[in-house]
Structure 1
Amino acid sequence: MNARPAIAPIANAWDSFRGVAHIGHIANRRDYEEATRVADELLEMGAIREAHPSHSLFMTICDLIAAYDQRHHAMPEVRGVQVLRFLMEQHDLKQNQLPEIGRQSVVSEILAGKRNLTVEHIKNLARRFGISPAAFF
């Protein structure tokens, strides 16, 4: 490797690491599968805990996996109203069965896009359905 003196130790260590771990930039499906295999093993070892000695490695691999997923399997943006519709469908709910929002007319206006979900609505819905309020943002 033809690296500058200050970078040479890092580059050499990186080459050694890649040779052992087979982890680095995820360019294809095979790289992705290897990265997820290593991440799963680290997860089983408890590396998700911040105090674990391999936590930083685990988080770095997760970041690489997330970047690959974003490039190759990007999820469409979902609005809060779409989440609400999905939850209503999954729980077979009608507009008048959401006291967390208020009257049926308020729910109707929200679903029609005439009104927005408020912070209070979101907190109440998240509590009812056991999901993160972030799902609505």
Structure 2
Amino acid sequence: MALIINKTIYSELLTAFQPKVIKTQAEYDEAHRILVELIMLPSLSPEQIELRELIIVLLKEFDHKQPTPEPASPQEVLVYLMEEHHLKQADLVGKIGSKGVVSEIVNGKRSISKSQAKVLAEIFHVSSSVFI
């Protein structure tokens, strides 16, 4: 069912927002802020619905053009999780290996074994596959 749009009201919304192709993170953030404002309204007029849909298209287009980040290595995941959980290498000693083994793993000099990945998965409450 097509919405009936009041051109005057829609024109006023477009003038206020001034939609355009998003080229920078700042423009993205501003469009996202406006989208959130629209979503938070208890109800939307047909004109606001159209503006919301337009903003979504613009945001998706910007997202689509962004480079896909490289997946994190198991070592990078471990270091990140250690930081998030406020753990030090010493906290993993005896759980996944000796002090030397833990140091080598954290510094990327040694791979994480399947058995170590299972232990780390239990510690951090994640899938063991992130460490393999």
TM-score band, normalised by the shorter chain? 0.3 to 0.5
TM-score in terms of structure 1 length: 0.44
Q: Return the index of the structure with the highest Cα Rg.
A: 2
